């Protein structure tokens, strides 16, 4: 069946309508059995070659114009993107720098808090050892002084302040060294109650917690010192009421 091409006003000028699908079927089925048929095949092949050349010549200026249009649009796009891309880059740098400064500040505060706790523990031990020496219990005083300091790591989570709201302390405890915590129970450094209700925090960081640890964290806050446990303060945002 012949399937002639439908030509419309939008059909590019280089589209040739002289050859149709029937010509393709005839060429596929054509068999040369004599000299005359060979001449027919040569004529039809050369006619198809002429059509190919005509199409390529007619299409070339259209393609060149299309390429020029594409190139121009690409250059205009690149020029139009310069300003918004620079804005994204500069704001991104500012955000990154601010986040870096905030992180450094949190680290500094954590170190200061740890140092404060260490100094506080040293003063407590010195006071205890001095009291023991006054009672003549020199050996016990030496043991108190020589014991290694067990200053817990402190995590201070920074939260942005929002007008009309304030931050309320929210202390909790994280068991980051479960084996050390269990050994602490066995050695009497942690009450047996600490072994009850140990739960995986399910955050992919192999952290655990328990009702006892959280109770102690809320009560003692940064003063909590248990083996394998660190105290964390994640302030919660509370809306200010009237009179606050």
pLDDT digits 0-9 by tens, 170-200: 888 888 888 888 888 888 888 887 877 788 7
- 171 or 15, which is more confident? 171
- What is the pLDDT averaged over residues 51-56? 83
Cα–Cα–Cα angle for 85, 90, 91, rounded to 5 degrees: 100
User: C-alpha distances in angstroms, 153 versus 142, 181, 199?
Assistant: 26, 14, 20
68: left (phi over 0), alpha (psi -120 to 50) or beta: alpha
Whole-number percent of the chain with pLDDT over 90: 0
Distance CA 121, CA 127 (A): 10
Average pLDDT, the chain: 76
Distance CA 180, CA 161 (A): 37
Which DSSP category does 1 fall into? Answer: -
pTM above 0.75, yes or no: no
Which pLDDT does position 238 carry in this prediction?
Answer: 67
Containing 217, the helix (H) or strand (E) segment is helix 211-220
51 — pLDDT class (breaks 50, 70, 90): confident
200-219: pLDDT as tens digits = 766 656 688 888 888 988 88
Distance CA 49, CA 136 (A): 118
Q: What is the CB neighbour count within 10 angstroms for residue 19? A: 16
| pLDDT for 231 beyond 60 | yes
- What is the pLDDT averaged over residues 35-47? 88
| pLDDT for 139 beyond 70 | yes
Distance CA 38, CA 223 (A): 104
- What is the pLDDT averaged over residues 1-27? 59
| pLDDT for 6 beyond 70 | no
């Amino acid at each position: 069946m012949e399937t002639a091409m439908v030509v419309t006003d939008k059909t590019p000028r280089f589209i040739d309508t002289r050859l149709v699908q029937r010509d393709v079927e005839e060429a596929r089925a054509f068999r040369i059995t004599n000299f005359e048929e060979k001449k027919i095949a040569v004529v039809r092949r050369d006619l198809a070659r002429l059509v190919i050349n005509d199409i390529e010549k007619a299409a070339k200026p259209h393609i060149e114009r299309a390429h020029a249009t594409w190139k121009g649009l690409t250059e205009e796009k690149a020029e139009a993107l310069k300003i918004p891309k620079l804005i994204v880059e500069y704001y991104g740098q500012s955000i990154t720098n601010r986040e870096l400064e905030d992180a450094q500040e949190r680290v500094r505060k954590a170190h200061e808090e740890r140092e404060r706790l260490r100094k506080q523990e040293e003063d407590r031990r010195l006071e205890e050892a001095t009291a023991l020496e006054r009672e003549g219990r020199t050996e016990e005083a030496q043991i108190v002084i020589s014991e290694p300091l067990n200053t817990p790591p402190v995590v201070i989570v920074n939260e942005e302040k929002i007008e009309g709201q304030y931050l309320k302390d929210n202390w909790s405890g994280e068991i980051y060294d479960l084996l050390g915590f269990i050994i602490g129970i066995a050695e009497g450094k942690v009450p047996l109650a600490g072994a009850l209700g140990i739960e995986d925090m399910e955050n992919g960081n192999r952290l655990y917690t328990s009702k006892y640890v959280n109770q102690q964290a809320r009560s003692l806050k940064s003063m909590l010192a248990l083996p394998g446990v660190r105290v964390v303060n994640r302030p919660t945002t509370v809306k200010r009421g009237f009179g606050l």
